[in-house]
Amino acid sequence: MKAKTGKHFQKARIMAQVVFTFLFFYLLLSAGRAGAGAESFTYTDYFFYFDPLLLLLNFIATSKILPLFLLSLVPLALTFVLGRFFCGWVCPFGAVNQFFSWIFKKSKKEKKGVDKKLLKLKYIMLILVVVSALMGAHYGGWLDPFSLLTRSVTTIVNPSVNYLLEESLKKGAKDEGIVAKGLKPFYNFSRKNLLTVKQRAYHQTFIIGGIFFLLLFLNLYKRRFFCNYLCPLGALYGLAARFSLFNLKTDEKCISCKACARNCTYKGSPFEDYLKSDCVVCFNCVGDCPTDAIAASLKVPKKENRAAVDIDLGRRKIMGSIVFGLCLGALPKIASPVRSRLHRFLRPPGSVPEKEFLKKCIRCGECMQICPTNFIQPALFETGMEGVWTPVLNAQTGYCEYTCNKCTRVCPTKAIAPLELKEKQKFKMGVAVVDRNRCYTYADGYNCAVCEEHCPIPEKAIRFREVPTWNFEGKQVNVKQVYVVPDLCTGCGICENVCPRTDAPGILMSAEEEQREELTF
């Protein structure tokens, strides 16, 4: 292939990255803007189906194959031909990292040459997530690029952009003053087209955001840091790419100027340190070569060449990572909450039983993005060590909308099983419990019943009875005291959400009578 065609390929690669990244963000963000209606279907989850790592981990953990994930065998098979093209051309998080590496390029803090030691790290990561999945613990979602990006955009990027935009234009909402009048058209436009009606809020913005921005800033240290050194999916593709037909080679025109190493994503070059397992087929080297000396070709690699050009983790490191992975898999399973019958957290409607849930959930946060009321939140340690970033319900930030079943539709791994709207309206996430020490109708002796008003169950799962009682003034009065009908209550949490108390709710949802745990033992 000629260098000129190589340059075209470089441009095509950048175009592909822009297109796929745009598509990814468009699908994800359109999910967040949609209302509760089940009729507006979204395709946000489709990116995940092209992720062979998730297919593998899910198969290992649950010994079942998710049919739609078989789509991921397509890019995996193509890798045997084209090398790690997926990382270079398709992966949106790869594109984000590449973009930041490009921005940080001028800082020139990077050292030259391939860091082979660090490149091994991603294989260790792959071994860790695979081995711990064998033990039923699913850490893949922490590092899987799709999960990581979706989670970060959902809980950090999207809400902060919304906040910054709204905060800077907020004055335009008011009618008095020159500033307000000047900002008003911009405010009205963004209110109509961009801003969410209600600013979303998530737990752990500091932790998830901190990790996300750290990963972006690590590109300052080494370009495409995450992709080269941490990404387990990259490692999986790297293993396949060793056997790929795609090859880059310098020919006799080479003047040993090392220009090809200048923009290489892993800082190798076809001239020296060419690593098939790390080349993401970006064509930067071909574009940079002043003498058109780099030839790309598709041919079956010779066996003796393979060992020389690839990274060997070594038996010790492999064994060490396996043992470490086993520990990682076992440790959360012997933590004390696992032995306890009690748990204080609730899962979204349709969630499978907890043990299975932890094996299936990839912590991607799709459900959090799609939830129209901001009800679903990423957990920290409430669900145990391995449950970090799994979805839990929080009635302080939202409630489960009666006419919505969207979260059951987007879960890529079906940790939240798909439910028809009718099924979801009957699905018991938990049960509301009245805290009689706090509820106004008991503690202070006056009428309130805001929870009763909001209860969406047509037969009313929250009712009240008129009871003579002593009020806070010491007088005997008839008060409409609220009570819950557990058989009807689904634990949607709107009662807790609307309870007017400002210290702690007088009625709260609890995991009592959770439908998904009925048959677990």
Partner 1 sequence: MKRRDFIKKTAMISSSLYLPGLLGMAQAPKGDLVVKVEGESPYEITKRAVKELGGMEKFISKQDIVMVKPNIGWNREVEQAACTNPDVVRAIVEMALNAGAKKVIVMDNPCHKAEDTYSRSGIKEAAQKAGAEVRFPDENRLVVHDFKGQRVTQWPVFKDFLDVDKVINVPILKHHGSAGLTIAMKNLYGILGGNRGKLHRDMAQGIADLAYSFKPRLNIVDAYRILLRNGPIGGRVSDVELKKTVIASTNIMEADVVAVNVFGSAPEQYDFIRAAFERKMGQMDISKINLKTIKI
| Residues near partner 1, by CB under 8 A | 35-37, 166, 170, 173-175, 191, 197-198, 372-373, 401-403, 440, 446-450, 452-460, 464, 480, 498-500, 502
Contacts of 210 (CB under 8 A, 6+ apart): none
Q: At which residue do the structure tokens 């933590």 appear?
A: 335
* Closer Cβ to partner 1, 104 or 399, answer by number: 399
* Closer Cβ to partner 1, 252 or 459, answer by number: 459
For residue 432, the minimal CB distance to partner 1 (Å) is: 15
Contacts of 69 (CB under 8 A, 6+ apart): 48, 49, 51, 52, 54, 55, 58, 412, 413
Backbone φ/ψ region at 63: left (φ over 0), alpha (ψ -120 to 50), beta: left
For residue 403, the minimal CB distance to partner 1 (Å) is: 5
* Closer Cβ to partner 1, 180 or 380, answer by number: 180
* Closer Cβ to partner 1, 447 or 515, answer by number: 447
For residue 170, the minimal CB distance to partner 1 (Å) is: 5
For residue 38, the minimal CB distance to partner 1 (Å) is: 11
Amino acid present at 474 = G
For residue 244, the minimal CB distance to partner 1 (Å) is: 48
34 is written with which tokens? 């949609």
Is the Cβ–Cβ distance between 447 and 424 less than 8 Å? Answer: no
* Closer Cβ to partner 1, 197 or 342, answer by number: 197
For residue 500, the minimal CB distance to partner 1 (Å) is: 3
For residue 444, the minimal CB distance to partner 1 (Å) is: 8
240 is written with which tokens? 């396949």
* Closer Cβ to partner 1, 291 or 447, answer by number: 447
The Cα–Cα gap between 89 and 3 comes to: 19
For residue 364, the minimal CB distance to partner 1 (Å) is: 24
Contacts of 506 (CB under 8 A, 6+ apart): 434, 435, 438, 439, 440, 443, 448, 451, 499
* Closer Cβ to partner 1, 15 or 173, answer by number: 173
* Closer Cβ to partner 1, 147 or 405, answer by number: 405
Query: Which pairs from 251-257 meet CB under 8 Å and 24+ separation?
Result: 251/293, 251/294, 251/295, 252/293, 253/291, 253/292, 253/293, 254/291, 254/293, 254/294, 255/290, 255/291, 255/293, 257/290
Residue 2's CB is within 10 A of a number of other CB atoms, namely 11
Nearest CA to 413 out of 136, 64, 73 is that of 64
